[in-house]
Structure 1
Amino acid sequence: MAEPLLIERAGPVLRLRLNRPQLHNAFDPALIAALTAALQAAGADPAVRVVVLEGEGASFSAGADLQWMRGMAAAGEDENRADALALARLMRTLDELPRPTIARVHGPAFGGGVGLVACCDIAIGTPAARFGLTESRLGLLPAVISPYVVAAIGTRQARRWFATAESFDADTALSIGLLHQVVAADALDAAVEAQVGLLCRAAPLAAATAKALVRQAAHVADAVACDRANADLIARLRVSPEGQEGIGAFLEKRAPAWAPKE
């Protein structure tokens, strides 16, 4: 049996490819576990600078495997809760991964597949990409992925797409914030590599910390505490070895130590 997830490493770049093409890379427990474990390992490996998430075959990910869903429909509430928590751990791990992530969306993404796209820091798609939060057609809702999709597209858009289960194209995904860029299929790899290059030229600690800063800034409950925390963060970065190297390289008009060799 083929591995549900293909893992490729090229220097600082880790590529994770969903590998259930005959089922449009739909989730089942094995794929969820494999992807969660791979992301946790990436987060613990300081040599990993960028993670690219992609799908094998025609689709990015169709969301939940229908056979898996059929089995869970026959299970009890406790089993379904544990199953949903496993998917929630995957999404949380991806969203909070201390490494920049890029979704390479070459084809359709539905349900949980949309969740994966929303959890990535950068999402690039082609005109062949289509999207849908189709759970309401089944009497369900995209509950587990909702925090990440709402953060990506906003509450106004989420209210529409969650309720209608309507599918939408790549241009619509771009306009509502789910995708950052739409490029022709033959330009997709170049567009992804351009972002990889930018991320590899950024300071590793700064790039890894950026999403935590954004998350904190987006949920300010105490403005004074937020200002203090941000001041603490920039102070730590300025005196850190990385901050010292970055400032020194800029002043000396040279490339910093972490920049790829030209």
Structure 2
Amino acid sequence: MSYQTLKVRYQDPVCFIQFYRPEANNTINDLLVEECLQALTQYEQQATIIVLEGLPEVFCFGADFKGMQQSDNGHTANRQGPEPLYDLWYKLATGPFITVAHVRGKANAGGIGFVAACDIVLAEEAAVFSLSELLFGLLPACVMPFLIRRIGFQKAQYLTLMTKPVSVQQAHSWGLVDAYEANSDSLLRTHLLRLRYLSKTGVVRYKKYMTRLADLAAAKPLALAANVEVFSDTDNLQRIARYVQTGLFPWES
């Protein structure tokens, strides 16, 4: 398949999916979500391992505010709504494959959702992690069920309330990152060499079992409702519009 927002390659038994929107700071739009779901569906039966990667400077920076402004003059935050993105993260968390996030550079907002949904998170030493939503009056509503599952309620709350980036060392101590090195490509290769020993049947059984232990499906309605609420608030939409137009945060004059 041909993709506009991704680079996808398959090297049995690994499918590499790279977010590739350099012109938009690797932000998330409807097409990226749709293409990610298509790629996962295409390879879910044959791939034992899915690797998510970004660009060297940015893994994924969250919602595409500029694209949102260009859509219906900012009155529609996301034409498809939040459900497809939640479904994408749910598929990463529960699908019949081992998911590995390889994080270089910045992971922010929805980028943290991709990280938290994956089974294993590897990062370079310069990687940073942040949730900036509350700066604009928004909530990381769909991120939180996956993030709480990974690092616990209070650490997820701290990351949300403080809004500032944390280092890879801090993220590792919290359990958001499993391992990091200066040369994360080498780290990824080492992990893939080991993960290749796992059979597809064993991985499928394991993921089914783990899905039953953490019920992400139950959190979905609450997460979607909270997302719709904050993206329907006209004050929040004005803050986003001002940021897109001027680059200024809400408290800056």
- Give structure 2 stretches of 5+ with no counterpart: 216-253
Give SS of 1:142's match: coil
Contact 1:15 1:54 (8 Å CA) reproduced: yes
Q: Which residues of 2 match residues 14-33 of structure 1 at below 5 A?
A: 14-33=15-34
Residue 133 of structure 1 deviates from its aligned partner by 0.8
Q: CA RMSD in A?
A: 2.1
Q: For 2:105 and 2:194, how far apart are their aligned partners in 1?
A: 24
- What residue number does 2:95 align with? 97
Q: Separation in 2 of the partners of 1:80 and 1:22?
A: 19
Contact 1:17–1:53 under 8 Å retained in 2: yes
Extract structure 1 runs of 4+ deviating beyond 4 A. Answer: none
Secondary structure of the residue aligned to 2:81 is helix
Matching of residue 171 in structure 1 with residue 172 in structure 2: no
Supply the AA of the counterpart residue of 2:74. A
Larger relative contact order (CA 8 Å, sep ≥ 6) = 2
The 5-angstrom pairing of residues 128-147 of structure 1 reads: 128-147=126-145
Give the alignment's TM-score, normalised by structure 2: 0.78
Structure with larger Rg:
1
Confirm whether residue 204 of structure 1 aligns to residue 200 of structure 2.
yes
Q: Counterparts in 2 of 1:72-91, with a 5 A limit?
A: 74-75=74-75, 80=78, 82-91=80-89
Aligned counterpart, 2:66:
67
User: Matches of residues 229-240 of structure 1 in structure 2 within 5 Å?
Assistant: none
Change (3 A) 1:60 1:157: same
| Structure 1 segments unaligned to the other structure (5+ residues) | 220-262
The alignment of Structure 1 onto Structure 2 pairs a total of residues equal to 213
Post-superposition offset of 1:3? 2.0
Shift of 1:164: 2.1
Deviation string for 1:106-131 (max 9, x for gaps)?
Answer: 11100010110111111000121111
> Structure 1's 128 and 73: CA in aligned 2 closer, same or farther, altered over 3 A?
farther
Of 200-209 and 143-152, the range deviating more from structure 2? 200-209
Partner of 2:210: 214
TM-score, length basis structure 1:
0.75
Distance in 2 of aligned mates of 1:84 and 1:13: 28
Q: What is the CA-CA distance between 1:149 and the residue it aligns to?
A: 0.8
